[in-house]
Structure 1
Amino acid sequence: MDEPTRQETEAPELVETLAASRAAFVRFVRPRVESDAAAEEIVQSAFLKGFERGGSLRDDESATAWFYRILRNAIVDHWRRRDAKGRALETLAAELPASFEDAQLDDRNRACGCVRALTTGLKPEYRELLEKVDVDGVSVPDAAGQLGITANNAAVRLYRARQALKKRVEDTCRSCASHGCVDCTCAH
Structure 2
Amino acid sequence: MGELLVVVIVACEIGFWVVLGAGLLARYALRRPKLGAVLLVCTPLVDVVLLAATVFDLRSGGEAKPAHGLAAIYLGVSVAFGHSMLRWADQRFAHRFAGGPPPVKPPKHGAERVRHEWREWFKFVLALAVTGAVVLLLTHVVSTPERTQVLRGTLDVMTLVGAIWLVGWPVYYSVKEAGRKAAGRGE
Q: The TM-score by the shorter chain falls in which range? A: under 0.3
TM-score normalised over the length of structure 1? 0.25
Report which structure shows greater RCO (CA 8 Å, sep ≥6). Answer: 2
**Higher relative helix content:** 2
TM-score normalised over the length of structure 2? 0.25
